[in-house]
Structure 1
Amino acid sequence: MSVYDYEANTLRGEKESLSKHKGKVLLVVNTASKCGFTPQYKGLQEVYDKFKDRGFEVLGFPSNQFAGQEPGDSEDIAEFCEINYGVTFPMYEKINVKGSDAHPLFQYLSNEAPGVLGSKSVKWNFTKFLVDKEGRVLKRFSPQTTPEQIEKDIAKLLD
């Protein structure tokens, strides 16, 4: 299995296979518009802009599972991200990222890269998963880890 075996709906409601991103380094992030970490959208966009021409993608997956911090629908989310942070990286429909009804992609990511003390559950918004060009999950980063702090890890995978 790899991340390429999963599908998700874009913010426009179109089903998309993640195999579309084969051969690229990915940073998969669960996002929210009303979270203390929401300003990380800016850093995510900057890292995306810096590396996208070298085979890198940020994939954003909004979730409302943490204190209701993503209350809007797909249109609200798209507008918020574009207007406030100029987001151009792929964004997907709001999903669950933890629990028994978590999206299969996040079940896979969580199992492949456990968090602190082996915890599998995503604990908060802006948890990030780094995926190599073969679709293997390499590392989980906490919400407190900024996109800028992950740049070196991304650059190594692109070389």
Structure 2
Amino acid sequence: MARPIVIEVQDYDPVWPSYAARAIDEVRAALAGLVVAIEHIGSTAVPGLAAKPVIDLMAAAPSVPAVESASAALAAIGFDRSEPTMPNRLFYRREGAPVAYHLHIVDAASWETRNQRLLRDHLRENAVDRAAYGDLKRALAASADEGDAYTKAKTALIQRMVDSARTARGLPLVNVWEE
């Protein structure tokens, strides 16, 4: 019988941005000239939001294949390539304590309208949605027995918040599960 996955959601830790900044510097050095922007995204990038202890980073690359060919440079700093759950991106993981890291590499042409960046900014600006999202994450972490169920159960709220952020910026609405 498979052992259930424990999903740990913690109170916001003000040290998370410093972990992200250090990792951004490492990735920027490893991928010198291959990326034009790198940002801290995800829940650990939102002050006051409960989160899993995972620092999500997103980088914009003019040539995603060029970054793919530089995977050894990322491996040298502990980032191992994984299969992405969404298309048109590269995905790398770095395990560790007290936090793990996820690195998403996307095409620079889509940078300004990336849902992950829009959601982060929306949550930073909207205390009501930030609280609702934190409450949902805690409830799901207490009841979910595997990571995919936890992630999918957040979809309706995330979609509503992303739709609000996209509407406020005059952008077309898109499914948060990129296809």
TM over 0.5: no
Of Structure 1 and Structure 2, which has the larger fraction of its residues in helix?
2
TM-score computed with the length of structure 1 as normaliser: 0.31
Q: Which has the higher contact order (CA 8 A, sep 6+)?
A: 1
TM-score computed with the length of structure 2 as normaliser: 0.28
